[in-house]
Amino acid sequence: MDLRGMYLEELKELASKMGEPPYRGQQIFIWIHRRLALAVEEMTDLPLAFRDQLSSSHPLPPLKILESSTSALDNTLKLLLELPDGEKVECVLMEQGGRRTACLSSQAGCPLGCRFCATGQGGFRRNLTAGEMILQAVALLRKAREGDPKASLTNIVFMGMGEPLLNLEQVLRACRLFQHPKGWNISHRKITISTCGLVPQIIKLAEEKPPLELAVSLHATTDDIRSELMPINRQYPLKDVLEACRYYARVTGRRVTLEYALIKGVNDSRKDARRLGRLLKGMLAFVNLIPLNPVSGIPYQGVGEEKAKTFARWLTQEGIEVAVRRSRGRDIEAACGQLRARRERGEKY
């Protein structure tokens, strides 16, 4: 296994197996997760012979950044990485009000085919490993440290490419690594995984209560519209998704965040706000409104800031807790999957 995806205990065991004292495992862990090492050769407090042995038995998969862009509007940083087998994944770093949030991918591509999503339109390639999720965070934080050597990540969201609940085991492994006090030390309240609404997996999460926050992509208030936008709705219709959310909130006592991308003329009417109010009545929920990020070749448009605020006001009148998120990095196509899509069309910055 990739050293980046291994727990501290596993690294200690590996060190022992290789004839070294277990604390070498902790040194490796700190090099990877604290000091953001890119190669075993950098781990200079390991004995040279052990370093040589480790770098041939367990080399760290290299970091290859294909593209890097920073938004002139809000400083959002977006990276396109190439993995050793040639797959491409995106990750984004956002800074706001003292928070530094990494938005990570859980899969190369996505099999769910949402109509407004560049990743969904590009098809599915494969699941990512926990090590590859850590690598994205390492890449983003190394960039941030170029400007601020003390920079650290405060929040992680799995809202990049892919459906985290289809790769739950590796995503949970990455989450536990991010939470480790000797490593990233990120609180479980600050790690969010987002799903398009896979009902059996939401129920499983409710029962297992892993330490993280759950967000569910709703995006519509009728099955007709949701099925048009998100084909998965034909399998798990709105009613079932919301019932699973209620169950999750009840069993865990945690609030569910519902994501709602405002699409002009599709889901942004006064009626939609009323229906959403009815659907969420009495539920421990919070709605995040995001104007849709336009994606090239896709027939949907976002709404303006004023409209988003109006829709938020309607929801407030329905008694729903709501926030409007700015769509960040619009000028660098920071919505999920857009960079890879453009690369595949052969366009350059």
Among candidate residues 20, 67, 90, 132, the one labeled active-site is: 90
Nearest distance from residue 235's CB to ligand SF4, in Å?
12
Q: Residue for token digits 């953001």?
A: 36
Residue 163 or 268 having the CB closest to ligand SF4: 163
Could you tell me the sign of the dihedral formed by the alpha carbons of 233, 342, 171, 185, in that order? negative
Site membership for ligand SAH, residue 199 (CB under 6 A): no
Residue 28 or 91 having the CB closest to ligand SAH: 91
Does residue 90 carry a catalytic annotation?
Answer: yes
Q: Residue 263 has what DSSP assignment?
A: B
Nearest CA to 334 out of 100, 109, 73, 114 is that of 73
Site membership for ligand SF4, residue 110 (CB under 6 A): yes
State whether residue 313 is helix, strand or coil: helix
Q: How far is CA 64 from each of CA 38, 85, 132, rounded to the nearest angstrom?
A: 10, 11, 12
Site membership for ligand SF4, residue 202 (CB under 6 A): no
Of 101, 129, 194, 233, the one binding ligand SAH by CB under 6 A: 194
**What is d(CA 221, CA 194) in angstroms, rounded to the nearest whole number?**
18
Site membership for ligand SF4, residue 114 (CB under 6 A): yes
Does residue 42 carry a catalytic annotation?
Answer: no
String of contacts with ligand SAH for each residue 112-151, x by CB under 6 A: ----xx----------------------------------
Nearest CA to 106 out of 176, 65, 166 is that of 166
Interface of this chain with ligand SAH, residues 269 to 328, rule: CB under 6 A: 290, 292-293, 295
Chain position whose Cβ is nearest to ligand SF4: 120
Site membership for ligand SAH, residue 196 (CB under 6 A): yes
Nearest distance from residue 31's CB to ligand SF4, in Å?
32
Of 5, 25, 131, 162, the one binding ligand SF4 by CB under 6 A: 162
- List the beta strands (DSSP E) in 180-329: 191-195, 213-217, 256-262, 285-291, 322-324
Site membership for ligand SF4, residue 167 (CB under 6 A): no
* Contact of residue 292 among ligand SAH, ligand SF4, none (CB under 5-8 Å per partner type): ligand SAH
**What is d(CA 274, CA 129) in angstroms, rounded to the nearest whole number?**
41
The three state secondary structure string of 107-142 is: EEECCCCCCCCHHHHHCEEEECCHHHHHHHHHHHHH
**What is d(CA 119, CA 125) in angstroms, rounded to the nearest whole number?**
10
Of 6, 28, 112, 341, the one binding ligand SF4 by CB under 6 A: 112
CB half-sphere exposure, 34, CA atoms < 13 A: 13
Four-CA torsion 147, 153, 156, 160, nearest 10 degrees = 20
Site membership for ligand SF4, residue 71 (CB under 6 A): no
Chain residues binding ligand SF4 by CB under 6 A are: 110, 112-114, 117, 119-120, 162-163, 196, 336
Active-site residue set? 90, 336
Binding site for ligand SAH (CB under 6 A): 110, 116-117, 159, 163, 194-196, 217, 259, 261, 290, 292-293, 295, 335-336
